[in-house]
Amino acid sequence: MPVHSQGLGTPCLSHAENAPSTPRISSKIDEYLSRLISPEGILEEVRFIADELGVRAESPLLPTPPPAPAHAVEQMRLAEEQRALEFTAQ
């Protein structure tokens, strides 16, 4: 599963020539660690994991969505409550 640091949609990072990536493969999990050097000269890492849950990337460098607004959280809670009631009614 060769994954390269280029093409990740992060133009401010470049592949570190002197920081090799380390693939690690086990019987159930494939893991690939990509090391990058930021424009500030800091060594950063992105870990790619392929397992029974699919493929995912883990790193503090990756953007995360903002928290859901309170009204949306309430709507999701109500929907779950309705689903649970419908399930028990059947």
In a domain? residue 74: no
Beta-bridge partner residues of 32 = 23, 48
Number of independent structural domains in the chain: 1
> What's the pLDDT at 10?
39
pLDDT digits 0-9 by tens, 1-32: 333 444 444 333 334 444 445 555 545 678 99
Q: Note the pLDDT tens digit of each residue in 24-65.
A: 554 567 899 999 999 999 999 999 999 888 899 999 989 989
Domain that holds residue 43: 14-63
Per the domain annotation, does 4 fall within a domain? no
pTM of this prediction?
Answer: 0.44
- Tokens 């019987």 found at: 27
Contact in structure between 89 and 81 (CB atoms under 8 Å): no
Locate tokens 């999701």: which residue?
A: 76
Token readout for 78 is 């109500």
Nearest to 1 by CA among 56, 38, 44: 56
Q: Give a yes or no: residue 21 inside a domain.
A: yes
